[in-house]
Amino acid sequence: MGAKAKIYSVIQVINASISENKRIIKEMFDPDNNMDFNLREFKIGFKNETADGFLIYYDGMTNQNYLNRDILRSLLTCDKFDAPERGRRAIVTERIISVAPLSILNDYDEVGQKVSFGDCAVFIDGCACCFSADVKGWDNRGVDAPTQEVSLAGPQEAFSESIMTNIALVRKILRSPNTTAVNIPVGNSNKVPCAVMYLRNIANPDIVAEVARRLKGIDTEYIFSSSDVEMMIEDSTYFPMTRTLKTERPDRVAAMLADGKVAVVVQGSPFALILPTTTMDLIEATEDNYVRVPEANLMRLVRLFGMAVSVLLSALFIAVMLYHQEVLPTDLLIAISATREKVPFPLILELLLMELSFELIKEASVRVPNPIGSTLGIIGGLILGQAAVEASIVSPLLIIIVSLGGIGSFSTPTLSLSRSLSVLKFIYIFAAYFFGLPGLTAAVIATLSLLASTTTFGVPFLSRYRAGGHSSESVLVKPIWKKEKRPPELMPQDEIKQPEISRKWKYDKNNKPRDKD
């Protein structure tokens, strides 16, 4: 194995000898042990001479119709041309490029990358190069409805595992020649195509350059998904809050690009990364853009309340019960004490047991098939909870506290943010257990201070976290006709998103309002 690797790692440049090329290709791809690898030999007849040739491809990754009908047929009909006069390379290039996208390769590493990604490679005797034709033909999952970012009012299209399909879905929405998708392969061995998408007339060139720099700086053997890329380019691995928005919705990517952000689309992953990401991006749900402003604001406030409940309720409960019982009414305190009279465990152990059980139910419901998932939730939430109370393992009030926190966690717009809040929840629980409300308050202030001092791709993480201002978004959802400017923290090339008067039908020819809004 080591001898073979040495041969084609030293001999990089393709030479004109067909026999030598065939020998190296066999050592590279090991056709005797790869049942799906094919090497087909043929002869090309020119006007005054013939030449040996062969092509290689992986069965199942190429379209056999394109291969036989277009590539081979075009190569076997070269007898009209005089090879010495025009050259074999020029004739073969002309014949193939008329039926398929063609790349001229000069070293074996490029051949390995192209063939392993579904191309076929053609070698002709006397040509010191390889002709790589794009005849990909593997099966792809179709464009399905979103599963994590469900929207009742928005489009029902989600990304698939094909990078070209995902790019096309975004281009179909933006419909602008300024939409740019730069390919940056990542992974030293598998060279996964990774598209950096942005609007070149809007996006900040410094942010685009920084994203490209980090992607090019990934030095690892294999990359398998956008999650791998996210962890490779994020600013801090151990930061408790996610700082990258992953979305499966093309419409959301298109809206972010229109604001001046950058998207990273990875081959084989149905999620795109939005860079840079701020807190406002994380708390924004897809539904906010497809319902009227009063409804969207109510939903957002309820969502923020649910997120706060999921993070703080359990910690507040343990802090009050252990250190600050005087804040509770006497009757309520007596009732709580009565329900815990037969519970043999300390309060902190009881709470951790219930929180971990709930996290276990959430993880299990994700892993099992959908019909069983709902059943599992009923069993875990009702039967086990009721049985635990009757067995005096936990108190009824604690079941209510943990259940409310769990319901609040489901209001989180994205799964990655929900998991980040779960990590913070356990940190706050321990802070409240050891130091009471002062400890919980200090933990919250420390978290906010850390968030305030954090940047992602040079943009403050708490950008636009205010109730007003001139940015395109704030804590409350603004009407679309008031979103005149793009986020100023991105420093886009064009800050104006739409004119100040975008609803021209409300004004006469002198720009005077026809009626009151």
User: What's the gap between Cα 225 and its chain centre?
Assistant: 8
Over pLDDT 90: what percentage of the chain? 31
Direct distance between the N- and C-terminal alpha carbons of the chain, in angstroms, rounded to an integer:
76
Domain final residue pick, 456, 487, 509: 456
429 and 344 in one domain?
yes
Tell me, yes or no, whether 47 lies in a domain: yes
Shared domain for 368 and 248, answered yes or no, is: no
**Where in the sequence is the domain holding 102, given as residue range(s)?**
2-133
Radius of gyration of the chain (CA): 30
Q: Beta-carbon neighbour count of residue 462 at 10 Å?
A: 16
Tell me: do 259 and 296 sit in the same domain: no
- Total number of domains constituting the chain: 3
Poorest-confidence range of 134-138, 225-229, 407-411, 465-469? 465-469
- Whether 499 is covered by a domain: the verdict is no
Q: Examine the domain organization and report whether 317 and 261 are in the same domain.
A: no
Asked if residue 502 belongs to a domain, the reply is no
pLDDT of res. 371: 57
Tell me: the pLDDT tens digits for 75-107?
A: 877 777 777 767 888 888 887 777 777 889 988
Is 16 inside a domain boundary? yes
Give the whole-angstrom CA distance, residue 148 versus residue 286: 11
180 and 278 in contact (C-beta within 8 Å)?
no
Reply yes or no on whether the pLDDT at 480 is more than 90: no
Which of the four pLDDT bands, split at 50, 70 and 90, describes residue 211? very high
CB-based burial, 193-215: b 16+ in 10 Å, e otherwise: bbbbbbbeebbbeebbebbbebb
Please report which confidence band the pLDDT of residue 6 belongs to, taking 50, 70 and 90 as the band edges. very low
Contact assessment for residue 155 and residue 144, using Cβ atoms and an 8 Å cutoff = no
The 10s digit of each residue's pLDDT in 124-148 is: 998 889 999 888 887 777 788 888 8
**Exposed (0-12), middle (13-18) or buried (19+): which is 333, by Cβ within 10 Å?**
middle
Q: If 0-12 CB within 10 Å is exposed, 13-18 middle and 19+ buried, where does residue 19 land? A: exposed
- 470 assigned to some structural domain: no
CB 414 within 8 A of CB 245: yes
Three-state SS for 175? coil
H-run or E-run covering 83: helix 83-86
Q: How far apart are CA 66 and CA 473, in angstroms?
A: 49
